[in-house]
Amino acid sequence: MMAVNSISAVLLCLLAVTCANTDQDWWRTSVIYQVYPRSFKDTDGDGVGDLKGIEEKLDYLKDIGVNGVWLSPIYRSPMADFGYDIANFTDIDPIFGTMNDFDDLIKKADTLGLRIILDFVPNHSSDEHEWFKKSIKKIEPFTDYYIWHDGKVNNVSEERIPPNNWLSVFRGPAWEWNEERGQYYYHQFAVKQPDLNFRNPQLVDEMKDAMTFWLDRGVAGFRVDAVPFLFEVTSLQDEPLSNDPKALPDDYLYLIHNYTVNLEETFDMVQQWRGLIEARQEPKRLMMAEAYADFETTLRYYGTPQSPGAHFPFNFAHITDVNGNSTPADFLKATKKWIDDLPPGALSNWVIGNHDNHRVASRFGRELVDGLNMLALLLPGVAVTYNGEEIGMEDTSVSWEQTKDPQALDAGPERYLQYTRDPERTPFQWDDTTSAGFSNSEVTWLPVNSNYPELNVEAQKKASVSHYHVYKLLTAARATPTIQRGDTQVEVIGDHVFAFTRSVKLRRLQDSDTYVILMNLGAEEEIVDLLATFSPLADKVMVYAASVHSGVAHGLVYGERDALDRATTETGDITIEGSVRLYACIVYKYDSTFCGGRMVLCVILVLD
């Protein structure tokens, strides 16, 4: 037995998945690392990150085991939404550098075997884009590149009002009056982000041309932003009330969005983009889709075998469905559906953080950073890491006066904390020098977290135990045949333990490994019978990796009647028993004699 926190009824759920793999589909076993360029590395002293800074740090990304580098928008932009308001889809914003800088980045990445992926933002442009300026003036062919409407007249006041009740994600009406054109334009996000009209074939071609431009430049694919918002019903009928008691009339959640997201035409457009990418032949390119939607709708973005869509839509289940108070059943549900219920041949992926959500350390607690990384990196499919999660960066306190996020600014000083995304976007913490080594300027676009003297890359490299070292061990484990192509078993054990294994059965792979991951989500010690749950085991176990809060050292070996943290293994019935301290994330390794395997990794994650 192993004590991992009180024993009770056992709920089992068994899954078996074989991950197919080809040399061409490089992303299938990859770690995709999201870089938020404004906050990654500043080389010119203006307090904003740039392309040269990313190029300078590519060696670091190679060192930690990254395969693909996804860049949040670097296009020319007035920065009303920090790059998601694009004024030119085929140019680099000067704040990040030049096109030559981008080409240098691609070349350096190629030499390191890294692939560069761009954020593609098709739903809207900036209101400073030449297309929009010409659309206002009705200069062809740009007149209908955007969604315009005369609005209607209020029967009582006789004032002109928007055509319907649609709301912006950033709060308030989704329609803005333009005096020069004498019409309303539609914007699902900020006022300065007018929606593009994908019912216009010429606009569709323009966006395909933009994708082709970057593919010709050497990018390995795209993360497509805000996909569900591409189309709206032409009837412009009002959306129904949500009756959400917490939503104010201007809040996006005040309505049920039946007519403005996830329309049938949207799935067809994604399939068209996939066709454009597939037509490129070699090398293979990747398309990831951002779609915050219910599970069944999200799966539709995979497309069909006859009409494929995205290679994968992002799996946000470990952001939206679980948190620091979640039960094993919550984790089981969030994990199981992304293994068991995918379309045939579909590739899973695991996202635990991004630039729109609070950091892992702030959502789950700093003690669980390693555990969540273990989950993302050891489950089957693509692992996606947001910059800084590998060292356990935390949300930074950003005051109203320091706030830059337009979504927060639109909410006002009383409610901005409900909407702000600034805390997870603050500068990367490289070392303990000025501005955490992010910039030589003491003034940065967002404040550096005050914990940077202790929490930074260089400090973690020098430490014998750190998140950085654990992350590297996990990416190394991803190179094993089991993690790349092995089977997965997911279970809930008792009231408190979520568990999964990665293994190879029937000697299908030579020199394969077995991984056992236990997550105790309870506040009490629970006894788990590993033999009954995960058999067979072995009589000698080595600690492969342990979280920084586990109190267990890497590399220790224990076997028959040996003690490690009060844990022992016994031959014969092959049991492991003992107690594991709270907040422990431990990876064990043992020599095995079954199924041609050599070792097991066992992660024990105990939550208080």
Q: What are the catalytic residues?
A: 225, 290
Which secondary structure element, helix H or strand E, spans residue 149, and what is its range?
Answer: strand 148-149
Which secondary structure element, helix H or strand E, spans residue 205, and what is its range?
Answer: helix 201-216
Q: 258 with 265: CB under 8 angstroms? A: no
Residue with tokens 């759920």: 13
User: Burial, 452: exposed, middle or buried (Cβ in 10 Å; 0-12, 13-18, 19+)?
Assistant: buried
The Cβ of residue 20 has, within 10 Å, a number of other Cβ atoms equal to: 9
Which secondary structure element, helix H or strand E, spans residue 266, and what is its range?
Answer: helix 264-278
Q: 125 with 186: CB under 8 angstroms? A: no
Q: 103 with 217: CB under 8 angstroms? A: yes
Tokens matching residue 226? 């805000």
Burial 400-415 (b: 16+ CB within 10 A, else e): eeebbbbbbbbbeeee
Distances (CA, A) of 233 to 174, 177, 202: 14, 20, 19
> How many whole angstroms from its chain centre is CA 40?
16
3-state DSSP call for residue 331? helix
d(CA 89, CA 145): 14
Distances (CA, A) of 70 to 109, 119, 361, 382, 400: 12, 7, 22, 13, 30
Distances (CA, A) of 42 to 5, 461, 529: 45, 21, 51
d(CA 250, CA 247): 8
What is the torsional sign of CA 185, 187, 193, 194? Answer: negative
On the CB side of 199, CA atoms within 13 Å amount to: 13
